[in-house]
Amino acid sequence: MKVRAISDSTEHISEAAVQNSATKLLSPGSVLVVVRGMILVHAVPAAVLRAPAAINQDIKALLPNGRILPEYLCNVPRALNRELLGFVEKSTHDTRRLETDKLLSRNFSALAISATIAELGAELRAQYRLRTPDALQIAPALEAGCEAFLSNDAGLRRVTELRVLILDDLEL
């Protein structure tokens, strides 16, 4: 899996095959994570599914619960890549596998935006000249006592109340 979003594949499954088998189609917005294969020697890839699809045993699907965007959920395996690689084991024929319980062993949550968080977001927006979406992401992290905030925006480092980690700076 070399892309962050999957909208098509070289192989397709027919409607008849889905109807006459135990195969289930995943909905767009599912997050696919590779759990078996040699790529697990150096990375735990993840991508957002953009079209209905079926998967095999080499991939697991994470289903966002509506409180979290699939694109955000897709970044979790990337952010935890080093830790997840520590759980990867050798399987038959010297391939690699990541057991589901290990993949799901980390707890993370999405927080609702309360009036308190909205007010803190407004203060952060004014103090650091942040865009509203950035302020409304950093505010719940501060309110929850998070140790760090993961982003692609290096400009967020100007927020001094929270350690900001930039994805491009992380070793994967």
Q: What are the pLDDT digits (tens) for 115-162? A: 999 999 999 999 999 999 899 899 989 998 998 998 889 999 999 999
Confirm if 103 and 33 have CB atoms less than 8 A apart: yes
| pLDDT the model gives residue 108 | 62
Q: In this model, does residue 172 exceed pLDDT 60? A: no
Entry pTM: 0.67
Question: What average pLDDT score do residues 21-28 get?
Answer: 91
The DSSP code for 22 is S
Reading the block at residue 26, the tokens are: 């995943």
Same domain, 85 and 165: no
- Give the length of the chain: 172
Same domain, 100 and 29: yes
CB within 8 A of 65, min separation 6: which ones?
Answer: 110
User: Do 121 and 151 reside in the same domain of the chain?
Assistant: yes
What pLDDT, on a 0 to 100 scale, did the predictor assign at position 107?
66
Q: Are 137 and 158 in contact (CB under 8 A)?
A: no
> In the listed set 61, 83, 109, which residue is the last one of a domain according to the structure?
109
Q: What's the distance, Cα to Cα, between the start and end of the chain in Å?
A: 15
Which tokens go with 133? Answer: 């979406």
Of 109, 132, 154, the position where a domain reaches its end is 109
- Both 15 and 98 in one domain: the answer is yes
H/E element, 48: strand 46-49
The residue out of 65, 91, 109 marking a domain boundary is 109
Smallest CA-to-CA distance from 72 within 18, 8, 118, 140 is with 140
Say yes or no: 86 and 12 in one domain. yes
Is the same domain home to 100 and 22?
yes
- Can you give the pLDDT at residue 51? 94
- Enclosing domain of residue 117: 111-172
7 and 29 belong to one structural domain: yes
Looking at the fold, whether 45 and 35 belong to one and the same domain comes out as: yes
Shared domain check, 165 and 138 = yes
Query: Structural domain tally of the chain?
Result: 2
Mean pLDDT of the chain: 89
Q: How confident is the model at residue 2 (pLDDT cuts 50, 70, 90)?
A: confident
Cβ atoms of residues 80 and 62 within 8 Å: no
